[in-house]
Structure 1
Amino acid sequence: MQVNPVLAAPVTAPTRAAAVAPRLILGMAATPQELRAVQRLRYRLFVEDLGLTALMRADGLDRDEFDDYCDHLVVRDADTLEVVGTYRLLSPTGARRLGRVYAENEFDLGRLNRLRRRMVEAGRACIHPDYRGGSVLMLLWSGLLDYVRRQGCDYFAGCASISLADGGHNAVAVYERLRATHLAPADYRVTPHLPFPWDQLAPAPTAAVPPLLKGYLRSGAWICGDPAWDPDFDSADLFVLLPLANLDARYARHYGVTPMPIAA
């Protein structure tokens, strides 16, 4: 496996029970072999761990037509070079070549057409179960925000998923809470193709906001309207938009967003 130039100094993260915590390296997948490593990690998490049978494949890879048009941000264990975290990033150039962004599978984004040349879409975020102590997510976020700026873009967008394993009650509680505090202005609203019937279910007593979505919101992101239902992932998905102008300076420093090169 080729090792890409390091985007941040190796980070020592107490994320495993091992005596010596792993050192982490942030980079970009640059070879077909590295892309397959990303796809194997995604398959493990989405199919083997979460049981999303709609994504089952004989080759044990989670892959689709978007992969070839995207850049793939990866975090590796510096000692084993194993890919332990990943984010799939679709630049405006990639979106123009493909003809759409992934979120259009779930939402009508017509009101956002004016943003397309200044918007990076991120998705397929996943982290190896043994490395979920926070440092991998922090590195992925740092790399994502740096990528957005290096693309000359002003917006990050993506779908944030809420599991429906409890029958959807937590998704209702989360949406009811967030629509009161983080709803985008009307000009940035999107419409789900297959709406999740949040107004027909009782909310859970408390709202457990998924960590990734929580990180988006703390950084200044909006949710852009009602959730879509994704039957393949058994989730309610919110379209999230983060104008970089909203990024709180505290979180910019926290995620280490500095002018550092990202390898092509």
Structure 2
Amino acid sequence: MFQKALNQESSQAQSRLYLSIARTPAEIAEAQRLRYKVFAEEMGAQVSGTGGLDIDGFDAFCDHLLVRESSTHQVIGTYRILNPHQAAQAGGYYSAGEFDLSRITHLFDRTVEVGRACVHQDYRSGGTITMLWAGLAKYMQMHHYEYMIGCASVPMNDGGHAAASLFNRLKDDYLSPPEYRVFPHNPLPIEALNQDIQVACPPLIKGYLRLGAYICSEPAWDAYFNTADMLVMLPLSRINKRYAAHFLK
């Protein structure tokens, strides 16, 4: 049923791309191979896994959303989805490794976590990420989930000054109410960093905020990916009406 809904959604998007959920180990490996290419080869992250695959302990419990190119069927975009039932089997959400989530545990039975989002460098137009978001919105709607959480990353190639400046710029308008606030286990030392650099907001974070997401934390430092991560939360009820008309059909 969900696959049929995805097919209907993708037929209304760019005809050269289509959306699916990985159904076999081989399809999951395609997502892991793209993740390795983006995270390890492009970003220099210290990913786990062998044979050119990015693999961690959560993969076996997750649903893997795939965007493929129609003529080659190559996976050019992916999102990893962990729903409440899967999170219970996995021993918790991935983001709990980076943040104290105590204040939002009462929402977990209605919460989907997303992560490992990446797009092949040749397809980083709005269309690919739009298809991933449309698939995610359809997934949440069909299964009656109300909240999405995930770690939004900022590269730390400059030692963290850009991440500190971005958080300083966004916090006044997008920081969540206190009841949704979470706390980094390994905080980025914002006070010791330049917070006044003019920095562009990464497209994925900008997209989340346009949809209506909150930033629920100060940045955490992820040493393996060398990124500063902020937890974002998107209540489905907060999705911007302009986007809801497109995603929630």
Taking structure 2 as the reference length, the TM-score comes to 0.94
Equivalence for 1:17? none
Indicate yes or no: 2:67 matched with 1:75.
yes
Q: Is the 2:219–2:230 contact (alpha carbons within 8 Å) kept by the matching residues of 1?
A: yes
Give 1:204 deviation, angstroms: 4.6
Equivalence for 2:166? 174
Q: Is the 1:11–1:25 contact (alpha carbons within 8 Å) kept by the matching residues of 2?
A: no
Q: Is the 1:7–1:26 contact (alpha carbons within 8 Å) kept by the matching residues of 2?
A: no
Equivalence for 2:19? 26
Give 1:56 deviation, angstroms: 5.5
Q: Is the 1:91–1:151 contact (alpha carbons within 8 Å) kept by the matching residues of 2?
A: no
Structure 1 SS opposite 2:153: strand
Give 1:87 deviation, angstroms: 0.1
Give 1:36 deviation, angstroms: 0.6
Equivalence for 2:135? 143
* Separation in structure 2 between the aligned mates of residue 162 and residue 34 of structure 1, nearest angstrom: 28
Give 1:237 deviation, angstroms: 0.3
* Separation in structure 1 between the aligned mates of residue 112 and residue 181 of structure 2, nearest angstrom: 17
Give 1:151 deviation, angstroms: 2.0
Q: Is the 2:141–2:248 contact (alpha carbons within 8 Å) kept by the matching residues of 1?
A: no
Q: Which amino acid aligns with 1:257?
A: L
Equivalence for 1:257? 248
* Separation in structure 1 between the aligned mates of residue 8 and residue 91 of structure 2, nearest angstrom: 30
Runs of 4+ residues deviating >3 angstroms:
9-13
Indicate yes or no: 2:22 matched with 1:43.
no
Indicate yes or no: 2:79 matched with 1:87.
yes
Structure 1 SS opposite 2:114: strand
Relative to structure 1, the CA distance from residue 240 to residue 9 in structure 2 (aligned partners, 3 Å threshold; closer, same or farther) is closer
1:151-190 equivalence runs, <5 A? 151-190=143-182
* Separation in structure 2 between the aligned mates of residue 56 and residue 44 of structure 1, nearest angstrom: 13
Q: After superposing the two structures, state which structure 1 stretch, 87-96 or 165-174, moved more.
A: 165-174
* Separation in structure 2 between the aligned mates of residue 57 and residue 119 of structure 1, nearest angstrom: 28
Q: Show CA shifts across 1:11-50 (max 9, x none).
A: 675xxxxxxxx70001111111101101100011111111
1:96-111 equivalence runs, <5 A? 96-111=88-103
Q: Which amino acid aligns with 1:136?
A: T
Indicate yes or no: 2:125 matched with 1:128.
no
* Separation in structure 1 between the aligned mates of residue 221 and residue 94 of structure 2, nearest angstrom: 15
Q: Which amino acid aligns with 2:248?
A: V
Q: Show CA shifts across 1:131-170 (max 9, x none).
A: 1111000000111111112221110100000111122111
Give 1:245 deviation, angstroms: 1.1
Percent pairwise identity:
45
* Separation in structure 2 between the aligned mates of residue 43 and residue 120 of structure 1, nearest angstrom: 23
Taking structure 1 as the reference length, the TM-score comes to 0.89
Q: Which amino acid aligns with 1:247?
A: I
* Separation in structure 2 between the aligned mates of residue 26 and residue 65 of structure 1, nearest angstrom: 24
* Separation in structure 1 between the aligned mates of residue 34 and residue 196 of structure 2, nearest angstrom: 31
Q: Is the 1:221–1:246 contact (alpha carbons within 8 Å) kept by the matching residues of 2?
A: yes
Q: Is the 1:47–1:56 contact (alpha carbons within 8 Å) kept by the matching residues of 2?
A: no
Give 1:251 deviation, angstroms: 1.2
* Separation in structure 2 between the aligned mates of residue 10 and residue 139 of structure 1, nearest angstrom: 10
Q: Which amino acid aligns with 2:34?
A: L
Equivalence for 1:262? none
Give 1:59 deviation, angstroms: 1.3
Structure 2 SS opposite 1:81: coil
Structure 1 unaligned spans of 5+: 14-21, 259-264
